[in-house]
Amino acid sequence: MTELVELERRHAEFAKRNARVIVVSVEGVDDARKTQADFPHLTLVSDDAHGLSEAAELIHPHAGPNGGDTDVPTTFLVDRAGIVRCVYRSPSVIERLSPDALLKAMDQRLR
């Protein structure tokens, strides 16, 4: 959840770039609504059925806290035309792309 706090904290910098941060979570819809309320400048999408995660090949088997499947933290930069300009896939389930690195990638790849 720390990464969401950091992204929320930097929301003005994303707004300056006319960008939206969309977070896909494997939590259920009710939990996603609660999380969304805590982070109003982010857009949270529930993927509890793992349809999006499976389509994007993000499932990391048995890497969840209780040994269940979880998503590999992955960041996609998508331009206005829907073209993926950059993909960052974490080497582990506990690492995330920092907001600074994300903003730098946006400045380099989306302008």
Residue among 60, 52, 49 at smallest CA distance from 23: 52
Give the pLDDT score at 86: 93
Give the pLDDT score at 19: 94
Would you kindly state where each structural domain of the chain is located, as residue ranges? 2-109
> Hey, which CATH number is domain 2-109, 3.90.1150.10, 3.40.30.10, 3.40.1190.20, 3.30.930.10?
3.40.30.10
Q: What is the pTM of this model?
A: 0.83
For the chain, 111 residues long, give each residue's pLDDT as a single digit of tens: 788 999 999 999 999 999 999 999 888 999 999 999 999 999 999 999 989 989 988 888 887 778 877 788 899 999 999 999 999 998 877 788 999 999 999 999 987
